[in-house]
């Protein structure tokens, strides 16, 4: 090799290493019709469960977009114990039936959530279930039912039903990111029907996983504390009104904070999630100088796409 060629290679090497990667736009492109099995590991404080269900979607017969249904719901484990005995299967049967009644989501061609189908019908099924299972007194069922039918409460419940889609696809569809950069988003609270105002998004390295080019993303957001108080006070007020009690003027705690995190890996081909981890931590101070009570919730989703090699069961590839 000539000295001139060695010199040329020495000069080119650093330039290639330092060249910036091209931006990537996350574009929704799921097939027009299909399904994917999801295995979910959920934990709230010290209680945990493992569930399995199938997402099925097809073009809407009326109106635009796709209809995505949440089907074939099964509990696999409760607090580390496999749900195999007849007694355990009987214990989770009602929860499985209610979970299978989650309404379909209408998804736009760009991956945006357009709405929730037949949400009112689902709400009435929940109220009927509360009235029939005997866990609440009839007067209490009426109070809760009146509160659940309030528009602001319905908005909150609809947002809760759509959380999983937003974490899997909705937040990311159309997002353009540069590798290695952080972006701070300021979100319109009314538009998102939530309390998070500022989100920090970190776009990780592109990688190849299960035969596809992928992107790993982390997002963390803190809620606006004053807005938390306003929304919580409004909710407590609705419940008090339904129970014919005096409306509270202040909440029975000094301070509340909330932090939400999402971390996942997506195939660039169609923005298909392969693994997504979401968590929410709420801290409540009963007094200004006391220690907070912490409520932690986590959901870990593994997606089993039929055309991809299966991932090792329960093994995370997130950093």
pLDDT less than 50: residues of the chain = 1, 3-19, 187-196
pLDDT at site 168: 95
49 within 8 A of 42, measured Cβ to Cβ:
yes
In the chain, the largest separation of any two C-alpha atoms, in whole Å, equals 92
| DSSP collapsed to 3 states, the chain | CCHHHHHHHHHHHHHHHHCCCCCEECCCCCCCCEEEEEEEEEEECCEEEEEEEEEEEEECCCCCCEEEEEEEEEEEEECCEECCCHHHHHHHHHHHHHHHCCCCEEECCCCCEEEECCHHHHHHHHHHHHHHHCCCCHHHHHHHHHHHCCHHHHHHHHHHHHHHHHHHHHCCCCCEECCCCEEEEECCHHHHCCCEEEEEEEEEEEEEECCEEEEEEEEEEEECHHHHHHHHHHHHHHHHHHCCCCCCCCCCCCEEEEEEEEEEEEECCCCEEEEEEEEEEEEEECCCCCCCEEEEEEEEEEEECCCCCCCCCCCCCCC
Please indicate, yes or no, if residue 235 is contained in any of the structural domains. Answer: yes
Question: Against a cut of 0.85, is the pTM above it?
Answer: no
pLDDT at site 5: 37
Please indicate, yes or no, if residue 243 is contained in any of the structural domains. Answer: yes
State the total domains in the chain. Answer: 1
pLDDT at site 182: 65
Please indicate, yes or no, if residue 240 is contained in any of the structural domains. Answer: yes
Please indicate, yes or no, if residue 145 is contained in any of the structural domains. Answer: no
Please indicate, yes or no, if residue 43 is contained in any of the structural domains. Answer: no
Please indicate, yes or no, if residue 72 is contained in any of the structural domains. Answer: no
Please indicate, yes or no, if residue 125 is contained in any of the structural domains. Answer: no
Please indicate, yes or no, if residue 79 is contained in any of the structural domains. Answer: no
pLDDT at site 33: 95
For the packed helices 138-148 and 225-242, what is the interaxial angle rounded to 10 degrees?
130
What is the span of the domain harbouring residue 185? 172-308
> How far lies 287's CA from each of 4, 253, 272, in Å?
74, 6, 45
């Amino acid at each position: 090799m000539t000295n001139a060629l060695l010199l040329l290679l020495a000069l080119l090497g650093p330039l290639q290493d330092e060249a910036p990667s091209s931006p990537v736009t996350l574009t929704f492109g799921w097939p027009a019709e299909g399904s994917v099995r999801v295995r979910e590991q959920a934990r709230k404080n010290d209680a945990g469960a493992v569930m399995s269900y199938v997402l099925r979607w097809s073009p809407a017969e009326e109106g635009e977009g796709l209809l995505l249904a949440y089907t074939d719901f099964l509990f696999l484990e409760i607090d580390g114990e496999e749900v195999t005995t007849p007694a355990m299967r009987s214990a989770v049967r009602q929860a499985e039936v209610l979970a299978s009644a989650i309404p379909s989501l209408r998804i736009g061609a760009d991956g945006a959530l357009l709405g929730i189908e037949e949400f009112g019908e689902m709400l009435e099924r929940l109220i009927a279930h509360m009235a029939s299972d005997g866990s609440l007194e009839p007067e209490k069922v009426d109070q809760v039912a009146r509160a659940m039918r309030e528009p602001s409460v319905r908005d909150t419940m609809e947002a809760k039903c759509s959380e999983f889609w937003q974490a899997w696809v909705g937040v990311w569809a159309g997002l353009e990111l540069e590798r290695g950069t952080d972006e701070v988003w300021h979100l319109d609270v009314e538009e998102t029907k939530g309390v998070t105002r500022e989100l920090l998004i970190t776009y990780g390295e592109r990688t190849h996983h299960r035969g596809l080019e992928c992107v790993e993303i982390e997002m963390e957001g803190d809620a606006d504390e004053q807005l938390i108080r306003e929304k919580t006070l409004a909710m407590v007020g609705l419940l008090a009104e339904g129970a014919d009690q005096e409306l509270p003027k202040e909440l029975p705690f000094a301070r509340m904070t909330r932090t939400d995190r999402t971390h996942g890996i997506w195939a660039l081909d169609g923005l298909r999630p392969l693994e997504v981890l979401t968590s929410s931590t709420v801290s409540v101070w009963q007094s200004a100088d006391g220690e907070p009570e912490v409520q932690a919730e986590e959901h870990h989703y593994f997606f089993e796409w039929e055309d991809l090699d299966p991932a090792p069961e329960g093994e995370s590839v997130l950093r």
